């Protein structure tokens, strides 16, 4: 008969609500007993003679029912029928109290209105209206039975007109209160439904956000105008831009003009084809170029109406780096193997030629033109031998002798030697930014100084008209150190940066291009990394990171070492190039 609003409440909340109803009923009857006693006494001084026995009996019955209600609450979890039973017994108890206190003239008729109003809190609208009809039926039955003499009346005798008038007035009051209470119950039910819907929506939104944030691919959603409104954590990790920076920005600010690619993607969907994949270079806030692969799809609403775009993308930098490294290996491995053997074969006739020229030179007058020509041949043969020696050092490096080395002292020695180098002029400023205490690492001292010397000398040669070179050393996390070489020289173009660590690359200093290749290999053998950042016309910054504790890497065999050494960009070798700025990290 009654339909309880319990589906909107949690189990604990339901029990607490029923307990409140039980205790509230007992408190109301007790207050009613006290007020009635004062009313009958006519003053604040209470008298036993004026004690309202009928109300007291109702109070005692309520106490007994309260005990029964609490027992039922503990024994049964079906609260729907308990609420119905309590309201039905309340209606019967009010009817008995009205009969005992004067029938149609009883002041407790108003309790029917209170009961109907309270029922709207616990029952749904239809059940609240049923409760009002039950109260009307009990009240009319009581009045009719007392008027007919079937039940002894406790009130004053009333004329039929007064009885009809009293019944009509109260029934209308009950109906109006019932309708208002039903309306209140409906609003309450709607409030619960809205609250539940809001909670479910919030849960779905939280789940949606957790799913999006847990995706390891970058995910961006836009509206139809291309304004970004979703930017997940992976997108931040790949691009370097924070979500709060990108929300509301145009998608073109990140991917450039992708209008044609959007049309291709939407056209593929219309034709039933697979979404095409695109690749692009994306610039991070630090100016690094990240190679990404992305796809574009349409975003639809629940009504299947297009509301925007979904762009998913992945970082392909490492993949392209490995592909580039493999291609470089394939291209240079054969050259390395042949060149290493060829270098040995060239040295033998070169030595014989040099010996023969020296014998001929000894028989020539010192001032003759032939002696000058032979001197040129000897110098060029020495240069050729130096090129072969450097190539063999690159193709078949010596095994380093690792020991505890003070990096600060190695840098100081490099700066001291550099100051006495003929390449250094008065317009060159050399600065060592070193910590006051020694910084020890496990490394080969000779190879470490070779790294510092080559990098510093290249920086000086990049400043032919003078400039500043600073060498900064600092310990960093994970038991590593960082050495930064920063110059104000000519800088490098993106093409020069791309070939920086390749052997025999074009060299502005006129060398063989093996210096930085050997530097890279030494750093790699020390489990370190090197990062080059250069702006053409403004200078370069080369960052070397080395572990404090090291494990020496021993080549397995010569062939493997040659193949590996001619692929210097194996470690994070993807070129990070900006239009006006060139960078490479390895």
Domain annotation covers residue 1: no
Predicted pLDDT of residue 16: 73
**What's the CATH number where 456 sits?**
3.30.565.10
**What's the CATH number where 290 sits?**
3.30.450.20
**pLDDT band, residue 101 (cuts 50/70/90):** confident
Instruction: Mark which of 183, 206, 229 sits at the end of a domain.
Output: 206
Q: Are residues 455 and 497 in the same domain?
A: yes
Predicted pLDDT of residue 477: 85
87: Cα separation from own chain's centroid = 54
Residue recorded with tokens 């010397």:
453
Q: Are residues 252 and 271 in the same domain?
A: yes
What average pLDDT does range 302-315 have in this prediction?
85
Q: Are residues 25 and 41 in the same domain?
A: yes
Query: What sign does the CA torsion over 279, 282, 288, 293 have?
Result: negative
Instruction: Mark which of 395, 419, 444 sits at the end of a domain.
Output: 395
Instruction: Mark which of 185, 206, 227 sits at the end of a domain.
Output: 206
Boundaries of domain holding 227: 215-315
Whose CA is closest to 110, among 159, 56, 177?
177
Q: Are residues 352 and 374 in the same domain?
A: yes
Predicted pLDDT of residue 510: 45
Q: Does residue 583 carry a pLDDT above 60?
A: no
Q: Are residues 580 and 500 in the same domain?
A: yes
**pLDDT band, residue 14 (cuts 50/70/90):** low
Tokens of 417: 């030697």
Contacts of 355 (CB under 8 A, 6+ apart): none
State pLDDT tens for residues 399-434.
Answer: 568 889 999 999 999 898 888 888 888 899 999 999
Domain annotation covers residue 485: yes
Q: Are residues 477 and 497 in the same domain?
A: yes
**pLDDT band, residue 84 (cuts 50/70/90):** confident
Tokens of 537: 């016309």
Predicted model pTM? 0.43
Residue recorded with tokens 């510093």:
456
What average pLDDT does range 8-24 have in this prediction?
69
What total number of domains does the chain contain? 4
Q: Are residues 113 and 225 in the same domain?
A: no
What average pLDDT does range 186-192 have in this prediction?
74
Q: Are residues 245 and 148 in the same domain?
A: no
Q: Are residues 185 and 252 in the same domain?
A: no
State pLDDT tens for residues 513-561.
Answer: 567 877 887 888 888 888 888 888 888 999 999 998 865 544 433 333 4
Predicted pLDDT of residue 486: 93
Domain annotation covers residue 433: yes
Domain annotation covers residue 113: yes
Predicted pLDDT of residue 411: 93
Strand partners, 309: 222, 298
- For all residues of the chain together, what is the average pLDDT? 78
What average pLDDT does range 483-497 have in this prediction?
86
Predicted pLDDT of residue 267: 85
Q: Are residues 309 and 431 in the same domain?
A: no
Domain annotation covers residue 569: yes
Q: Are residues 269 and 153 in the same domain?
A: no
Q: Are residues 357 and 237 in the same domain?
A: no
């Amino acid at each position: 008969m009654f339909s309880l609003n319990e589906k909107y409440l949690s189990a604990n909340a339901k029990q607490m609500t029923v307990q409140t109803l039980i205790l509230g009923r007992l408190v109301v009857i007790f207050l009613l007993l006290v007020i009635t006693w004062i009313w009958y006494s006519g003053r604040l001084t209470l008298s036993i003679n004026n004690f309202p026995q009928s109300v007291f009996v109702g109070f005692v019955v309520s106490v007994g029912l309260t005990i029964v209600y609490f027992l039922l609450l503990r024994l049964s979890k079906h609260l729907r029928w308990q609420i119905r039973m309590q309201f039905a017994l309340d209606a019967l108890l009010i009817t008995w109290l009205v009969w005992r206190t004067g029938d149609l003239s009883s002041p407790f008729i108003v309790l029917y209105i209170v009961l109907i109003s309270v029922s709207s809190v616990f029952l749904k609208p239809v059940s609240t209206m049923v409760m009002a009809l039950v109260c009307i039926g009990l009240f009319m039955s009581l009045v009719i039975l007392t008027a007919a003499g079937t039940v002894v009346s406790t009130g004053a005798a009333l004329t039929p007109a007064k009885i009809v008038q009293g019944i009509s007035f109260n029934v209308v009051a009950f109906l109006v209160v019932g309708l208002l209470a039903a309306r209140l119950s409906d609003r309450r039910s709607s409030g619960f439904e809205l609250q539940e819907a809001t909670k479910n929506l919030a849960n779905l939104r939280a789940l949606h956000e957790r799913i999006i944030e847990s995706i390891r691919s970058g995910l961006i959603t836009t509206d139809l105008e291309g304004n970004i409104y979703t930017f997940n954590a992976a997108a931040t990790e790949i691009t370097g831009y924070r979500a709060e920076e990108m929300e509301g920005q145009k998608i073109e600010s990140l991917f450039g003009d992708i209008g044609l690619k959007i049309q291709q993607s939407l056209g593929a969907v219309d034709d039933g084809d697979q979404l095409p994949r695109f690749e692009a270079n994306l610039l991070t806030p630090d100016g690094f170029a990240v190679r990404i692969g992305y796809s574009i799809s349409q975003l639809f609403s629940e009504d299947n109406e297009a509301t925007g775009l979904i762009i998913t993308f992945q970082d392909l930098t490492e993949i392209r780096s490995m592909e580039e490294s493999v291609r470089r290996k394939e291209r240079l491995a054969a050259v390395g193997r042949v060149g290493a053997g060829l270098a040995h074969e060239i040295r033998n006739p070169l030595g014989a030629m040099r010996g023969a020229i020296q014998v001929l030179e000894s028989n020539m007058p010192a001032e003759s033109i032939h002696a000058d020509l032979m001197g040129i041949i000897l110098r060029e043969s020495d240069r050729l031998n130096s090129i072969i020696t450097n190539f063999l050092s690159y193709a078949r490096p010596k095994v380093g002798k690792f020991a505890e080395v003070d990096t600060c002292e190695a840098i100081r020695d490099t700066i001291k030697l550099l100051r006495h180098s003929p390449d250094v002029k008065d317009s060159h400023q050399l600065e060592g930014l070193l910590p006051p205490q020694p910084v020890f690492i496990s490394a080969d001292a000779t190879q470490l100084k070779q790294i510092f010397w080559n990098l510093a000398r290249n920086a000086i040669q990049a400043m032919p008209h003078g400039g500043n070179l600073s060498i900064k050393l600092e310990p960093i996390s994970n038991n590593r150190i960082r050495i930064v070489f920063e110059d104000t020289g000519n800088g490098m173009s993106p093409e020069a940066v791309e070939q920086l660590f390749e052997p025999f690359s074009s060299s502005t200093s006129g060398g063989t291009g093996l210096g930085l290749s050997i530097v890279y290999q030494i750093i790699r053998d020390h489990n370190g990394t090197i990062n080059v950042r250069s702006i053409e016309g403004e200078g370069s910054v080369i960052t070397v990171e080395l572990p404090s504790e090291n494990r020496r890497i021993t080549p397995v065999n010569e062939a493997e070492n040659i193949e590996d050494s001619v692929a210097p960009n194996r470690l994070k070798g993807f070129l990070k190039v900006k239009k006006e700025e060139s960078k490479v990290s390895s």
